[in-house]
Structure 1
């Protein structure tokens, strides 16, 4: 599974919130639609990447090739800080698990321990980090498979002589919940909010899948070899989308079997994030030891995903630095090939997790979920814009694409429509009063603040020219080769480190897991 290293609690805790608001049928349907959206966006990104593979990822390089430098700058930094925001999200998810399982007053101590593990692991030499990442990825995939098997066993009545659960929660309290209003309109709003909550599990999946597929091709020194291997990208992409979507859809079905949507433990009595539906089902089944083992596995999943997202965020910033779009200090590496300045800069976002000392971690986790998902919708829209500009430039040059999916360009327009709808509909979360500690106005700001940040990044670069870096203006040969030429400012000389052998800030080692 291409996104195995980043499988986190969004699949478990985030899905619990989605189940609570929408019900089991809405959760299953939302995961099906999000899987279709993932396929649509993945094929869009893959067509662009197949033509000219890059080791640095689509939002770091393709934006500069096909869009204005200001829009590319904003999208690249959006990707960096969104990946960095995943780190406090995973840390607070771990706190939710610990706090609900074993409440205590040692919140600050728990935060320090978990954050130290997440950040400290990213200072390990890359060789050691990759070895540990393989282990954590295996644990997370094994956890997902085991929890699904347990839910299947409970549904069929095969655990400790438990009666068959079947789809009893689909009948009582029901398959679909209502949200804000009664009737069909209420069920539709519940489904839409369920779609918003469930999207955290699919965040950045298209880019990660394509990046995994294009890495071997982008490192080929010969254009001819690159062209030959590019044909294999599409097959890898299709397989990885299936390997991602199918287990996620099965997991959404299993979670609807494990807990009813009206169980208050899913949202900690309506305050925010709560127990995973899996943990609720295992506790209610009174299976000894297994719930504790599952809780530990979910805790490890949160910590491991935090490590992975910090890795991706720091390598994105390092790649931006090496390409000339960020200060040169961020590309500095130590003897263990670790870009430690970029790691420190990305790890600063982890401090947001310590807000949980003042407000409950269940609430802070929900706020971070809204921030991350809205940024990912903007990222999807940027990917659609890249595809449209890419097609337009190819037609203008009379150059044929190396590969074209049969669902394109319709899939791109579908992805653009759904992403826009989800981005604009993020404020639906602010409608109910709930038990949250902030006003509706504050919740609206949280839902839409990334639009303002993205616009500010664009405007600062477009009109003020405050960016303290020497950027490289890239000219592309539409036949599949790219060249660098000096822009208005002189591009800086690429710094090399005798221990790293050149520019290596793309997450190449990460995808060898």
Structure 2
């Protein structure tokens, strides 16, 4: 599974909030729609990646190839800080899981221990970190499979003295909950909010899947014929990874609807925010002796492991941006263990947000972080759709044919744009009820839409910076081409700007037999 390293509390705990607001039928339908959205996004990204594989990922590289520099700059930094925000989200999720199991007043100590583990593991030599990552991924996938089997046993066969549960929670309290208003419209609003909350489990799934598929082809020398073969294999790998991701997730959503009713207050910690996993609630209600404790430890381990993975992804994204010239060069500095330690430190600074849980409950802070990361992921999906559309236009303008065309495109891209826009604009729906959340409705509204402002600000700052640098050059030249300071002197040539990712890609073999992916630079003078 391509997104195995990021399987965490978004699936085990985040889905509990979605179940509480929507009900089991809404949760199942939401995961089906989100799986279709993942397929739509991956097929569009696969077309772009098959044409020109990149070892640095879609939002870091392809934006500079097909979009404006300012747009690419904003999307790359959005990806970096969103991945970094997942770290405090996973840490606070671990705190929620640990606090509900064994409440205590030593919140700061627990936070410090978990954060130290998450950050400290990222300073391990890269080879050792990747080896441990495979182990943690296997544990998390095993946890997901075991919890599903237990729910299947409780639902169909019963365990010990427990009779089979079947789909009793679909009948009472019901398959679909109501939200804000009663009746059909209340069920529609509940489904939409369930869709928003459930999307955390699929965050960045399309890009991670495509990046996993294009890595072998992106590192192959262009002179080797196998590179074209590996590039052509990207669509098949992508489809396989989508199926391996979507199918277990859909089954998990069905299982969670069997394990707990949507009106169980433990799902949202009495309406304050994140709560217990539906799996833990079901195992406790079944009165199994040690199984709930083992499941709690496994989910806690998943949260810590996912925090490690997201910090790794975030720091490597910043390092890639630095290596490509889009971030300060210091962030590409690596130690003997091949760890970009300054990039790790910069990304780890976002972990400090988890310590807000010392002042407000971790269940509430976790909910705020969930809204932040999901809205940013919706923007990333829209960026990917815009990149695909621009990619198609540029190929048509040059009269070039694509290496791969999906039968779902371009309709799947338009579907992705519609759903992502709906999710982004509707992400403030949770502001409406009063509930027990700390903070005014204005604060919750800001949390829901702040990423739109951040993305726009990044775009405008970079655009203004480019405009100022060009305007300064023009101001120093008179109409005859001579500078104002020395009109009799010879005309100085204007500095041409380098746009490093507009063009093709070629590989330069190294003496050791390895290959180094280089990007052909196209020179042009800006007006």
TM-score, normalisation: structure 2: 0.91
Q: Is 2:426 the partner of 1:425? A: yes
Structure 1 residue aligned with 2:12? 12
* Equivalent residues of 1:44, 1:408 under 8 A apart: yes
User: Cα offset for 1:88?
Assistant: 0.2
The CA deviation string for residues 147-178 of structure 1, in whole angstroms up to 9 with x for no partner, is 00000000013311310100000000000000
Structure 2 residue aligned with 1:398? 399
Aligned-partner SS, 2:163:
coil
Structure 2 residue aligned with 1:475? 502
* Equivalent residues of 2:500, 2:520 under 8 A apart: no
The CA deviation string for residues 255-291 of structure 1, in whole angstroms up to 9 with x for no partner, is 0000000000000000000000000000000001000
Structure 2 residue aligned with 1:56? 56
Structure 1 residue aligned with 2:294? 293
User: Cα offset for 1:476?
Assistant: 1.3
Mapping 1:455-494, distance limit 5 Å: 455-465=456-466, 472-477=499-504, 482-485=519-522
Q: Distance in 2 between matches of 1:65 and 1:103?
A: 51
* Equivalent residues of 1:273, 1:365 under 8 A apart: yes
Q: Is 2:228 the partner of 1:227? A: yes
RMSD, aligned CA: 1.8
Aligned-partner SS, 2:13:
helix
User: Cα offset for 1:472?
Assistant: 4.4
TM-aligned CA distance change 1:486 to 1:329, over 3 Å: farther
TM-aligned CA distance change 1:479 to 1:310, over 3 Å: closer
User: Cα offset for 1:228?
Assistant: 2.1
Q: Distance in 2 between matches of 1:418 and 1:471?
A: 36
User: Cα offset for 1:229?
Assistant: 1.4
The CA deviation string for residues 400-425 of structure 1, in whole angstroms up to 9 with x for no partner, is 10001100000000000000000000
Mapping 1:105-504, distance limit 5 Å: 105-223=105-223, 224-465=225-466, 472-477=499-504, 482-485=519-522
Aligned-partner SS, 2:233:
helix
The CA deviation string for residues 369-410 of structure 1, in whole angstroms up to 9 with x for no partner, is 000000000000000000000000111111110001100000
Q: Is 2:60 the partner of 1:33? A: no
Judge which range, 226-235 or 133-142, deviates more.
226-235
Aligned-partner SS, 1:260:
coil
Structure 1 ranges of 4+ moved more than 4 A: 465-468, 478-482, 485-489
Q: Distance in 1 between matches of 2:147 and 2:197?
A: 21
TM-score, normalisation: structure 1: 0.93
Structure 2 residue aligned with 1:79? 79
The CA deviation string for residues 459-510 of structure 1, in whole angstroms up to 9 with x for no partner, is 0000134999x97432314999951246779xxxxxxxxxxxxxxxxxxxxx
Q: Distance in 1 between matches of 2:111 and 2:502?
A: 47
Q: Distance in 2 between matches of 1:359 and 1:157?
A: 42
Q: Distance in 2 between matches of 1:81 and 1:467?
A: 26
Select the structure of larger CA radius of gyration. Answer: 2
User: Cα offset for 1:130?
Assistant: 1.0
Q: Distance in 1 between matches of 2:462 and 2:383?
A: 17
TM-aligned CA distance change 1:471 to 1:139, over 3 Å: farther
Where in structure 2 are there 5+ consecutive unaligned residues? 470-496, 508-517
Count of residues in Structure 1 that have an aligned counterpart in Structure 2: 488
Q: Distance in 2 between matches of 1:403 and 1:232?
A: 10
Structure 1 residue aligned with 2:485? none
The CA deviation string for residues 112-158 of structure 1, in whole angstroms up to 9 with x for no partner, is 00000000000000111111111100110000000000000000133
Q: Distance in 2 between matches of 1:137 and 1:458?
A: 36
* Equivalent residues of 1:95, 1:361 under 8 A apart: yes
Aligned-partner SS, 1:400:
coil
Aligned-partner SS, 2:521:
strand
Where in structure 1 are there 5+ consecutive unaligned residues? 490-513
The CA deviation string for residues 342-393 of structure 1, in whole angstroms up to 9 with x for no partner, is 0000000000000000000000000000000000000000000000000001
